[in-house]
């Protein structure tokens, strides 16, 4: 069995709702509730769900942007080739660890500092980690710009983000992400704000880079069709929980969880002859699974196809 680049176990992220003058805690929002998954080296996992389902919160916890409430994140240490927990790293180790994990953001207009040139933006990680001398750094920037298809790089380096189109900006974001040669990249809907025609070229670029450089993605999207194109496996998230996780084609052809079924059935199909069947919520299959596995939270129904067994009847509809 291949190695995992990242393993997430029982990740939880709660937000306290405080109110009143003395900041008493009124309640807790479980933005991410008991989420577990792993991603094998070189493979990509799609995290799909409606807005507000906790997919971005999961990503931010993975990137250590927001502290998690509970749970375990184990990451493959590239030096020892072992999965190590990142909880007990000290500051210097943590800074070094951060070289291995990067994130691409949704909005190409906000994810680049408007006051910096493209060169400075891509250089930033190198400056932070103090890698190479100035000439080396510049050479690295040129190299990476060529890799993401912004050629000739000399044309782009002195420019500012506002002088580029959305697609070009997203390429700069990718270049900035890749300059540290990370093995794991979290993508938060990187193509959802781009035009259809540009979207595919960015997705193709990311797929090619993944193949060439051996990068694993956690690809967050609300669009199952995009996730299908990008990912080997898909996890469907709902209300802070993963309800179904399986290999992409298996999940699409044979969804089991009622929420997944509903999600798939609500996506328009670019074919006027295709008639979408209106899906009626049907809990029978899920009930059956719950009955047979009374203790488990996630049940493998075969071929690493996992179904969550918590009760969803009262939250769906």
Nearer to other proteins, 1 or 277 (CB): 277
Omega of the bond leading into 152 within 30 degrees of 0 (cis): yes
Residue 147 tokens, joined: 């890799």
Of 277, 105, 85, 251, which is closest to residue 176 (Cα–Cα)? 105
Q: How far is the CB of 309 from other proteins (least distance, A)?
A: 22
CB atoms within 10 A of CB 113: 12
Nearer to other proteins, 114 or 214 (CB): 114
Nearer to other proteins, 273 or 291 (CB): 273
Give Cα separations from 237 to 47, 98, 248 (angstroms): 7, 26, 14
Measure the CA–CA gap between 36 and 43, rounded to whole angstroms. 16
Q: How far is the CB of 228 from other proteins (least distance, A)?
A: 6
Helix axes 118-129, 166-178, angle to 10 degrees: 20
Q: How far is the CB of 197 from other proteins (least distance, A)?
A: 4
Q: CB-hemisphere CA count at 13 Å for 300? A: 5
Q: How far is the CB of 203 from other proteins (least distance, A)?
A: 8
Nearer to other proteins, 35 or 180 (CB): 180
Measure the CA–CA gap between 192 and 81, rounded to whole angstroms. 34
43 CB-near residues (< 8 Å, 6+ apart): 2, 216, 232, 233
C-alpha torsion angle, residues 85, 90, 96, 102 (rounded to 10): 60
Nearer to other proteins, 28 or 65 (CB): 65
Q: How far is the CB of 265 from other proteins (least distance, A)?
A: 8
The answer to whether the beta carbons of residues 193 and 104 sit under 8 Å apart is: no
Q: How far is the CB of 101 from other proteins (least distance, A)?
A: 7
Q: How far is the CB of 262 from other proteins (least distance, A)?
A: 7
Q: How far is the CB of 201 from other proteins (least distance, A)?
A: 4
- Tell me the three state secondary structure of residue 35: strand
CB atoms within 10 A of CB 146: 13
Nearer to other proteins, 216 or 299 (CB): 216
Measure the CA–CA gap between 172 and 162, rounded to whole angstroms. 12
Nearer to other proteins, 44 or 102 (CB): 102
């Amino acid at each position: 069995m291949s190695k995992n680049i990242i393993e997430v176990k029982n990740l939880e992220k709660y937000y306290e709702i405080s109110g009143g003058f003395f900041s008493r805690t009124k309640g807790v929002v479980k933005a991410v509730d008991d989420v577990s998954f792993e991603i094998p080296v070189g493979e990509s996992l799609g995290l799909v769900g409606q807005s507000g389902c906790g997919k971005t919160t999961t990503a931010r916890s993975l990137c250590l942007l927001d502290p998690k409430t509970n749970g375990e994140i184990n990451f493959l240490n590239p030096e020892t080739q072992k999965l190590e927990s990142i909880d007990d790293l000290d500051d210097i180790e943590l800074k070094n660890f951060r070289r291995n994990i990067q994130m691409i953001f949704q909005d190409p207009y906000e994810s680049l500092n408007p006051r910096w040139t493209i060169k400075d933006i891509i250089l930033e990680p190198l400056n932070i980690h103090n890698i190479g001398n100035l000439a080396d750094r510049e050479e690295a920037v040129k190299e990476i710009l060529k890799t993401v298809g912004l050629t000739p790089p000399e044309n782009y380096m002195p420019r500012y983000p506002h002088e580029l189109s959305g697609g070009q900006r997203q390429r700069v974001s990718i270049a900035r992400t890749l300059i540290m040669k990370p093995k794991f990249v979290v993508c938060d809907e990187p193509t959802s704000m781009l035009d259809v025609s540009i979207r595919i070229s960015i997705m193709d670029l990311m797929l090619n880079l993944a193949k060439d450089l051996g990068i694993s993605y956690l690809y967050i999207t609300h669009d199952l069709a995009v996730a299908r194109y990008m990912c080997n496996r898909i996890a469907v998230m709902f209300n802070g929980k993963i309800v179904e996780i399986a290999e992409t084609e298996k999940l699409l052809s044979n969804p089991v969880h009622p929420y997944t079924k509903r999600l798939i059935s609500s996506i328009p199909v670019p074919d006027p002859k295709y008639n979408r069947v209106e899906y009626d919520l049907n809990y029978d299959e899920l009930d059956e699974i719950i009955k047979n596995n009374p203790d488990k939270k996630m049940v493998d129904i075969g071929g690493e196809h996992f179904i969550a067994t918590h009760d969803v009847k009262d939250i769906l509809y």
